[in-house]
Amino acid sequence: MELFERPGEERMRQVRGAVPSSDGQTLSGFVLLREPECDFPRFIRNLKNDWDLEARALPSEDQLIFDIDGLRVSCSLVRAPMPGEEVEERCGVNPLWPEAAQSIGGYRAHVGVSVSGVLDPIQGHVLFTQVLCSMLKQDHALALYMSPMVMSAEAYVKNAMLLKEHELPVQLWIFVGLYEEKEGISSYTVGLRNFGHEEIEVLRSPHELTEVFELTFNIAGYIVDFGATLRDGETIGFSPEQRLPLNLSNGVAVEGQSIKIGY
């Protein structure tokens, strides 16, 4: 199995099978706010101006609920930080934003955002991204938290705009974690199961950290873009000469089983 160039607009129009569920998936995340205020009218305008989506509802008691294309969107303002230290702890495992803990320090509130009834993962994630992007344009928005991902508001909005170029912003949908041991660099993904695939891991690679990250992310993007399934006992590579073995076994850094990529 080889990796090819990522597809464009036609791929985004295709409808793939849903993750098995009687009522569909629910995608959820949290917008961290500097102040306990949410400008719902501005959010509604952002949806219309950026994505031509209409929220046909009015906010009530710090909550806004509406339907788009058969999916239920819910946004709820909570005038307090998230409970415990979960967000702060997750900042330490986000390699692309080392300043995360300092940047979100002292945030005072959050907006819970969810899209439910998702039967097609691509359709659901596209809408979820559009809604989050519009919410993250709040004056007081600092970051998105979607365990284990913590991403700055600016970075999320910038990457979400790839949708306007008919590209899938996989970096907003799949988290790639990294950790180092004496035996080498390891990586893992969180989010591929939302698309009906096993998470992937690279264990104790002798390659550089950036190389392990890029390989893991590129393969994750290939899986999402093409709906490809990695199978136990097969191989994957970037060229006809490269054959990286695939092994399905119990996860090391993720729950359940995962596909291990020999790299």
Return per-residue pLDDT of the chain as tens, 263 residues: 333 333 333 333 332 223 334 589 999 999 999 999 999 999 999 999 999 999 999 999 899 999 999 999 999 999 999 998 889 999 988 888 999 999 999 999 999 999 999 999 999 999 999 999 999 999 999 999 999 999 999 999 999 999 999 999 999 999 999 999 999 999 999 999 999 999 999 999 999 999 999 999 999 999 999 999 999 999 999 888 889 999 999 999 999 999 999 99
**Burial class of residue 129 (count of CB atoms within 10 Å of its CB; 0-12, 13-18, 19+):** buried
What is the model's pLDDT at position 225? 94
If phi over 0 gives left and psi between -120 and 50 gives alpha, with beta otherwise, what is residue 61? left
Say what the pTM is: 0.89
Contact predicate 244/261, CB 8 Å: yes
Q: Where are the domains of the chain?
A: 9-166, 175-261
What is the model's pLDDT at position 23? 81
